[in-house]
A and B are shown apart, each in its own frame.
Chain A
Amino acid sequence: MELSAEAVAVIGFVTLFALMLLRVPVGMAMGLVGVTGFGYLTGMEPALKLVGQTVMRTVTDYSFGVIPMFLLMGAFVSVSGISRELFRAANTFVGHWKGGLGIATIGACGGFAAISGSSVATAATFSAVAYPEMRRFGYPQSFSTGVIAVGGTLGAMLPPSTVLVVYGIITQQDIGKLFIAGIIPGLLAICMHMITIAIIGAVRPGFLPAGPRSNWRERAAALRDVWSPLLLFLFVIGGLYGGFFIPTEAGAVGAVGAFVIGILRGKLNREGILQSLLQATRTAAAVFTVLIGALCFGYFLTITQTPQHVTEFLTGLGVGRYGVLVLILLMYLVLGCLMDAMAMIILTVPIVFPVVTALGFDPIWFGVIIVMTVELGLIHPPVGMNVFVIKSVIKDVNMSTIFAGVLPFVATDLIRLALLIAFPLLATWLPMHMGG
């Protein structure tokens, strides 16, 4: 009995979910299901030919070089110990406020995320750097871990966000524009989280004690440690904005710049260099694996016409374009209970993207919206990747304690999401004025 394309699509999705739940790497599961499904419908020989072509084309696409380059830049800077210096610098300015250490953590997370591009790396790093300080000053465990978890999510929004790069590759959008589009929403997130902490500090006296005030000499000394990596970031992203570099070149300039700064500051030794190269390699390979899988799976989606069916279904619901958008975002919030950000993006964007463009939404804006939504999945139960990472670094804390600490910030993020939907210019204004 010959199965219809629709039936093959359903079987394919069920198999894919089963494989992913059995911990088969997401990219490999997508590749396997995609190629097998494609092979069933067209013959195994063309399907296998497709594997060779897709794999080789993906790994030799020069524009995809942006991923390892920015990862290498982030690795050089973080191995140089920037996280502690950023935290110290932020702390000298705001540490004497109620909740000041929390505000400093958010500021430092923003700075670190802007260099590393990774939510998980940011959360892990500040679990080691900021958590002991907050506890030393008597901050509650749930608040301290909650701040770090939410601070980590900044890595997904601020350039050079790996998640935004992956979105850009799958949807064939300009990665430079996506980077730039994430700046205002990322800065908005930093401000809103800081305001949330300040409100908590004001409403609950004694809950978030103030630390000692630093004098201007201490502040200047702390800034001396962080100015060069931050200048490098501004140069790289500024170059991208001004059309001076394409993203891959910006990443390479950033990586070499970070290497030189690390050497000149005496922070990067032989071991640190090797560690950075290894870290960038491992992460880049993991990201490319999901990209290869997603592209193979994309052929399966095309031949089964899944995106067209989903588009017809959603646009036929009669709930209007914003109604469909809300449904899509709700789906992401539910999926966030099952899987993490990258897996969600890779799996769902090829299906929902045609719907969104058919409804007339801006693809760059949608990238920002979608990344904001999946960011929430990094901190809400039961998966909450950032929460797992914090738990793996800080042994004496329960998952429920961290989730409790995250709650006020989830509310802040939902407000920010509503703002971005109401005012798309927050994401699209900067890319509209890019050079090049």
Chain B
Amino acid sequence: MIMTASQPEVSSDGVLTGPPEPARKNVMDRFIDSIEWVAAFFVGIVALNTFTAVFMRKFFAVTIPDYYNFGQFLLGILIFWGIAATSYRGTHITVDLVWANASPKYQRWIDVFATLVLLFVVTVQTYTLFDKVLTTRADHIVTMDLQLPIWPFFAVSWIGDVSAVLLIAIRTWRLIFHPEQVHDAKIKTAE
């Protein structure tokens, strides 16, 4: 597979373009992209939901029913799906002191170890969240205004967490057997 590892992450206009992508994408790459797009879609929806609520309240003195609850749960969905994408792209906040001073061979093994720990933690998190979805459903917890059940929102969030487990497993597999297919971001904008 042809990869573009040397592709810069910032354009000549100073626009950050994110980690490099493969020149030709296989089914797995498209699956990874789809998960990222779900998260990205929800960022836009959350912004629109909040903006509309503010606009209606400030200019028309109208409160949209359940906008607050929708904002909360959509935020949850975007974060879980986003964690899936972030875990695969290697854009988590990490301490790179040892890694940066290690040889490429040891860098790879450090990455494999870190990804295995990540896989373990996210798997446990997914298990505990499933329990949370079930208890929320059993307790019939509903939204404030429209009295809608909230467990479906939690379920969609949980599916994002399941996606995270899948993507981290793919990342682990690629790190061990196809390291040339993994290109982490050098510029992490969380700082």
Contact = CB atoms under 8 A, between A and B. Distances in A.
Contacts of B187: 120-121, 124, 389, 392-393
Given A286-B188, A383-B97, A78 B16 contact: yes
B26 interface: no
A55 B125 contact: yes
A314 B42 CA distance: 46
A425 interface: no
Contacts of A25: 87, 92-94, 114, 118
B10 A125 contact: yes
A298 to B, nearest CB: 16
Contacts, number: 274
B117 A121 contact: no
A31 B76 CA distance: 18
B40 A277 contact: yes
A129 B13 contact: yes
Interface residues of A, number: 89
Given A128-B10, A286-B93, A65 B118 contact: no
Nearest to A76: B47
A81 B54 CA distance: 28
Contacts of B11: 128
A278 B128 CA distance: 27
Contacts of A120: 187-191
Nearest to A80: B15
B176 interface: no
Contacts of A289: 83, 86, 92-93
A399 to B, nearest CB: 10
Given A81-B13, A245-B54, A253-B54, A284 B78 contact: yes
A413 interface: no
Contact of B75 (A68, A72, A342, A388): A68
Given A68-B46, A284-B82, A60 B76 contact: yes
A63 B80 CA distance: 17
Given A68-B43, A277-B44, A385 B191 contact: yes
Given A55-B128, A256-B51, 16 more contacts: A21-B95, A28-B122, A59-B75, A118-B190, A119-B191, A120-B191, A124-B9, A126-B14, A245-B54, A248-B50, A249-B50, A274-B40, A275-B18, A340-B93, A385-B191, A388-B96
21 contacts: A20-B94, A26-B92, A26-B93, A26-B95, A51-B124, A55-B125, A60-B76, A65-B50, A68-B78, A68-B79, A120-B190, A248-B50, A248-B71, A275-B15, A278-B18, A279-B189, A283-B188, A284-B43, A285-B91, A388-B186, A392-B186
Interface of A: 19-29, 31-32, 35, 48-49, 51-53, 55-56, 59-62, 64-65, 68-69, 72, 78-79, 81, 83-84, 116, 118-121, 124-129, 155-156, 162-163, 244-245, 248-249, 251-253, 255-256, 274-275, 277-290, 338-343, 378, 382-383, 385, 388-389, 392-393
Interface of B: 8-18, 36, 39-44, 46-51, 53-54, 58, 68, 71-73, 75-76, 78-83, 85-87, 89, 91-100, 110-111, 113-114, 117-118, 120-122, 124-125, 127-129, 131-132, 154, 157, 185-191
